[in-house]
Amino acid sequence: MSASKLDPLREHAMRTPKAPALQCGETMLTYAVLDACAERLKQQFADAGVGDGVRVGVMMAASAASVATLFALLRLKAVAVCLNVRNPDDVLVAQLCELGAERVIVDVDHQRELHGVTLLTCAPDVDDGLASGASLASVSLEETQPATVVYTSGSSAAPKAALHSIGNHLAAARASNAYNGLGPGDVWLLSLPCFHVAGLGIIFRCMTVGATIAISDREDVLATLSHDHITHLSLVPAQLLRLLDDLVAAPQPLSLKSVLVGGAACAVSLMQRAVDAGLPVCRTYGMTEMTSQIATAASPDSGARALPGVDVRLSGDGEIEVRGLSLFLGYVTSQGLQRSLTADGWFRTGDTGEIDVTGDLRVVGRVDNMFISGGENIQPEEVERVLCSLPGVRRAVVVPIADPEFGHRPCAFILADDETLGSAPLEAALEALLPRYKHPVHYLDWPDACGSDDRLKMDRKGMCRRAADALKTL
């Protein structure tokens, strides 16, 4: 029989029932009340035919109801299929059909007609009276029990349906908490969507140690940080940039103890700016398949240290390989569960990297982004990081362009603070930083259609086409 763990929500409802589990603006829910909500929803879903092994779509905004729904499904041994609420109906239906999920749990804001799918509207009572006088018993969850399906970001291929166990989520949460020092009394802002594994990670981290999840409907993150006394925060680089700009415009004291920055490559200059502003930032490297975090860097320009329980190594060709208790169960496909590992049980990440003498990891880029120029390997992300470290450069994307002599040569799109910044000063600065074959042979203006903010993923194929079209006119 597989090992079991206590349901962390029930555990804290029994031990510290009056402790704050979740705050939404001025509304605070204790662990006892949130647990009672989960029990009510458990019965509601069971009456609708949800049970052991049943896959159920979940299409909800971050709320008390969505957190309670997650634990209700765990207690029923059902699998929560976390759906991106921004996807069009035909994409959602195709995903549900592929996974054999015939029901979708929605909140009042996300009700929509999905052909062939039964909608279950979630609106639990959150009255304090639900928890009064209840005699609670421990609830055990099997560690190997399938718990969630989360779609990968699809940064280099079509999104895949990654299946995680309860043990994966709990192991990832404990490893992250060991690094960040999260504990009772701390408040983590649920600033990332729960259809991404990083959003789910915030829920499990807080539930595991009895901390508080904060949910805000304010668009102004800075106002939320100040008003709700947030101690822990997860951001993508674009969110960090906006937060720093807001702090410049309206400086104010914050209660932050830890800020995790991930989801995309983050320029050293942006991290250093955050440090200079007094933010306790940590750059993270993670992926859906490892249930979020793999390694974390404590300073802007340092390597990242693997989290407890996570092993990292490099293959012979420099690809990062990982293993650990947080490694997912596999991809759900029409042919069954698939999880391709090396012969000795390691997962290939598709990223290239370097490990220094202290064991710290530096992520170089994606294996499928690398191209060859005159027999030399060029990793675009490496050149981009160097370009973004130069004064006046806000963003850079490097793509290969065809060349009759070298096969391919690097070409760079540049977004600069000063529109008059030309190629000559960039080229001069690169002389001391990169070998000549890695220097872009053309510098192109940043396309207006791409916007100026960092994004979770860049359409590199589209940028390649833009480069080819632009060079035809030169």
Positions of CATH 3.40.50.12780 in the chain: 4-363
Architecture of domain 370-472: 2-Layer Sandwich (3.30)
Q: What is the pLDDT of residue 130?
A: 56
Q: Are strands 140-142 and 4-6 parallel, antiparallel or unpaired?
A: antiparallel
Q: Give burial (CB, 10 Å; 0-12/13-18/19+) of 317.
A: exposed
Q: What is the pLDDT of residue 296?
A: 96
Kindly tell me the sign of the dihedral angle through the C-alpha atoms of 250, 252, 254, 260: positive
d(CA 345, CA 136): 41
Q: What is the pLDDT of residue 458?
A: 61
Q: Give burial (CB, 10 Å; 0-12/13-18/19+) of 125.
A: exposed
Q: What is the pLDDT of residue 133?
A: 46
Q: Are 361 and 285 in contact (CB under 8 A)?
A: yes
**What is the 3 state secondary structure string of 103-155?**
EEEECHHHCCCCCCCEEEECCCCCCHHHHCCCCCCCCEEECCCEEEEEECCCC
CA 340 → CA 234, 240, 327, distances in Å? 30, 35, 12
Tokens of 110: 């996300």
Stated pTM of the model: 0.86
Q: What is the pLDDT of residue 155?
A: 53
Which pLDDT tens digits describe the chain residue by residue (474 residues)? 457 788 999 999 999 999 999 998 888 999 999 999 999 999 999 999 999 999 999 999 899 999 999 999 999 999 999 999 888 888 899 999 999 999 999 987 778 888 888 989 886 565 555 555 457 888 999 999 999 999 997 655 678 999 999 999 999 999 999 989 999 999 999 999 999 999 999 999 999 999 999 999 887 889 899 889 999 999 988 889 899 999 999 998 999 999 999 987 787 888 999 999 999 999 999 999 999 999 999 888 889 999 999 999 999 989 999 999 999 999 999 889 999 899 999 999 999 999 999 999 999 888 888 898 988 889 898 999 899 889 889 889 999 999 888 889 999 999 888 777 888 999 999 998 999 999 999 999 998 767 655 443 467 888 999 998 888 877
Positions of CATH 3.30.300.30 in the chain: 370-472
Q: What is the pLDDT of residue 2?
A: 57
The number of beta carbons lying within 10 Å of the beta carbon of residue 61 is 16
Fold of 4-363: Rossmann fold (3.40.50)
